[in-house]
Amino acid sequence: MKILEGKSITDISGIKASGIVCGIKKNGRKDLCVVFSEPKAVAAAVFTTNKVKAAPILVDMAHIQSGNIQAVVVNSGNANACTGEAGLEDAKEMAALTAEYLGISPQEVLVSSTGVIGVPLPMETVREGIKAACAALSKTGGMDAAAAITTTDTCTKTITVETQVGGKTVMLSGMAKGSGMIHPNMATMLSYVITDAAVDKAVLQKALEESVQDSYNMISVDGDTSTNDTVMVLANGAAGNTPITGFGEDYLQFREALDYVNVELAKMVIKDGEGATKLIECTISHAASVSDARLLAKSVIGSSLVKAAFFGNDANWGRVLCAMGYSGAAFATETVDIFFESEAGCIQLMRGGQPLQFDEEAAVAIMAQKLVRIKIDMKDGSAGATAWGCDLSYEYVKINGSYRT
């Protein structure tokens, strides 16, 4: 697998995209995008587990059953969530308008929205925006599309890789948005991966569902699972590989690339967490089961007290152990080792369930780095998992105290 710098989704064969200023946002930033695959394509998706689902999610849950998905339309600045029957009709109209301009059926269009909850979409603005975005589709519009899906994000989040599948070069390119309301249980988090690989629809769905478990479902900014969380993969087969219909070597090569793209996008979301000053990585090793390892790692990085301690560079290992204790995982406290590590060094804080004396100044230096790793050895099995989070700063409260206004 090879990482391709400076590339975007429109570097995938057969893909055009656009990102425009539609007028939904008050700040004049890009806020509507369309992605279009000229070749017919199949799609897979995973949606929020929140029982309160935004209108676009309900539309997409029906449209994703289609054997051909060729377009995605996304608006930012308004989530079209908790907007009743009118909101559902607006989401359907977004798909229908996009389909009309592209010459496909509404069921071949997926829709996403992100932004403020409970406010009706300004449909007159959106209608004109969709028309303009479809007219602006181009092979250079990938980065514009990545910018148009953002809300409180401070940067775009994109990655492109290539790999070999069945003797053919296959590309995968992803773009994501997310900064706050991030605690996916597949936030507001959206992620789109486009590939020119030929993949059977059912196989693609399975690959995505499994990939999500160790990527987007292992991150947390603030513990809030959004009404709009969506991860989609669109595969148009333009690479010319023999279609992946099973789970052999070709599938494994494709999965490796898909997993890498999803993990990197997930980490980009966390690095850009609202008010974040550092990325926290928690790795559990030698746990009794993968499910226990995931529960433990996710609980630690989701703890507000752990996150606040990391913001203050306070090596409060007790908060880590506490978060492990309420995770729901089965483990024996008396076997646990805990380490904090960064480029400034590594320090052990607990051995065999017992606290250790440590150099406080060294601990502060370790925790003051942009990437800090919590390493926890359970000494209870062979399973492991990694989760990613960020610290909790004053700025997070400032941003979210006035988000709607």
Q: Give the domain ranges of the chain.
A: 2-271, 279-401
Are 162 and 256 within 8 A, CB to CB? no
Sequence-distant (≥ 6) Cβ neighbours of residue 143 within 8 angstroms: 8, 19, 156, 158
The predicted model scores a pTM of: 0.86
Question: Can you tell me the distance from the alpha carbon of 399 to that of 267, in angstroms, rounded to the nearest whole number?
Answer: 21
Active site (catalytic) residues: 188
Q: What is the DSSP letter of 375?
A: E
Sequence-distant (≥ 6) Cβ neighbours of residue 277 within 8 angstroms: 311, 370, 390, 391, 393
**Residue 48 confidence (pLDDT):** 82
**Residue 217 confidence (pLDDT):** 86
Sheet holding 383-390, edge to edge: 219-220, 383-390, 279-287, 371-377, 337-342, 345-351, 354-355
CA dihedral 202, 204, 209, 215 (to 10 degrees): 180
Fold of 279-401: Ubiquitin-like (UB roll) (3.10.20)
Neighbouring CB atoms inside 10 A of 329's CB total 22
H or E element, residue 401 = helix 394-401
| Closest to 385 measured CA to CA, from 319, 262, 268, 289 | 289
Are 341 and 362 within 8 A, CB to CB? no
**Residue 181 confidence (pLDDT):** 46
Are 99 and 93 within 8 A, CB to CB? no
- One pLDDT digit (tens) per residue for the chain, 405 residues: 999 999 999 999 999 999 999 999 988 999 999 999 999 999 999 998 778 899 999 999 999 999 999 999 999 999 999 999 999 999 999 999 999 999 999 999 999 999 888 999 999 999 999 999 999 999 999 999 999 999 878 889 999 999 999 999 999 999 999 764 444 443 457 999 999 999 999 999 999 999 998 998 888 755 544 567 789 999 999 999 999 999 999 999 999 999 999 999 998 988 877 778 899 999 999 999 999 999 999 999 989 999 999 999 999 999 999 999 999 999 999 999 999 999 999 999 999 999 999 999 999 999 999 999 999 999 999 999 999 988 888 887 776 676 555
Sequence-distant (≥ 6) Cβ neighbours of residue 405 within 8 angstroms: none
Question: Can you tell me the distance from the alpha carbon of 15 to that of 26, in angstroms, rounded to the nearest whole number?
Answer: 30
Q: What sign does the CA torsion over 188, 194, 197, 201 have?
A: positive
Are 180 and 396 within 8 A, CB to CB? yes
Q: What angle in degrees, to the nearest 10, is found between the helix axes of 317-325 and 304-311?
A: 160
**Domain 2-271's class?**
alpha beta
SS3 breakdown of the chain: % helix, strand, coil, rounded to 5?
Answer: 35, 25, 40
Helical residues (DSSP H) of 64-148, grouped into ranges: 84-102, 123-135, 142-148
**Residue 50 confidence (pLDDT):** 79
**Residue 221 confidence (pLDDT):** 59
